[in-house]
Amino acid sequence: MRLAFSTLGVPGMPLPDVLDLAGRAGFHGIELRAHPEEPVHPGLERRARREVAERFADAGLAPLCVAGYPRMAATGDDAPVLAEVRDLLELAAGLGAPYARVFPGGDGGGAEADATAVRRLERAAAMAGDLGVRVLLETHDSHATGADAARVLRAVGHPAAGALWDVMHTWRGGEDPMTTHAALAPHLGYVQVKDIASREDTTPLPPGEGILPLAQVVEVLTRAADALTPAPGEGTGVEWLCWEYEKRWYPGVRELPQLLPGVRAHLLELLADAA
């Protein structure tokens, strides 16, 4: 399994610095926050996108995902949401990233939010398939559990629509890792990990310093991969663990360069223990 980290928490850090940190710390890829305050965002011209892709290639790193903010279950017109999704998907394709992240964002959830998310994701999946990428619905806000996300994705029924498993949200939603994985397995793109002090205090901690069941998550993923018998050329389940760094919203957390070596070491330890 390969390791990535997210630039969600380091707004404005120049891409060369991010790539240098990732390479020196031994990570394999980066999840890019696709927001206008970041160096990489949907407003980049084609030439700039090619330059970003070349920088990743030169560094020997993968652009795992462009993490955007379209809200698939939110009330309102579909057109602006789908336009935002298309921009995000085209950015992912231009960078060579296999995934683009979207949020549910429904107002309280319920049948209407499900129906809105299904309708929009059907359109988004068709666009994603044409571009050779996948659109991933993160377990978040109105659809925080694996059961919530899977309910929508089953209705969509398109291979280009999948799930991003954010472990914190599914756990806070009352699911254990085995239950979440069972729901999301047919749709799963990759897994986003972090740690927190308690169910009420979501201030991020380095993995292993909090209470999230990360060891169980890795064990479930490893067992599922071992149980698969892939056809020639196919993968063996989830290939990426991505650590989410959130200094953007929690300015008191430690600086990224200080944390990366220890984060990688802990994730590798979890993978070794589960092997």
Q: What angle do CA 210, 212, 217 make, to 5 degrees?
A: 135
Q: Which residue has the higher pLDDT, 66 or 13?
A: 66
| pLDDT at site 228 | 63
Return the bridge partners of 103, or none. 71
> With pLDDT > 70 as the criterion, what percentage of the chain qualifies?
95
- 113: which residues sit within 8 A by CB, 6+ positions away? 73, 104, 106, 107, 142, 143
pTM of the model: 0.95
Looking at this protein, which amino acid is placed at residue 128?
A
Mean pLDDT, residues 112-130 taken together? 98
Mean of pLDDT over the chain: 93
Instruction: List the domain boundaries for the chain.
Output: 2-274
User: What are the tokens at 111?
Assistant: 């049948």
| pLDDT at site 8 | 64
User: What are the tokens at 253?
Assistant: 């957390």
Asked if pLDDT for residue 45 goes beyond 60, the answer is yes
CB neighbours of residue 30 within 10 Å: 25
| pLDDT at site 57 | 98
194-205 pLDDT tens trace: 999 999 999 999
Mean pLDDT, residues 75-100 taken together? 98
Res. 139 pLDDT band, cuts 50 70 90: very high
Class assignment of domain 2-274? Answer: alpha beta
27 and 4 in contact (C-beta within 8 Å)?
yes
| pLDDT at site 237 | 67
| pLDDT at site 10 | 67
| pLDDT at site 226 | 81
| pLDDT at site 150 | 98
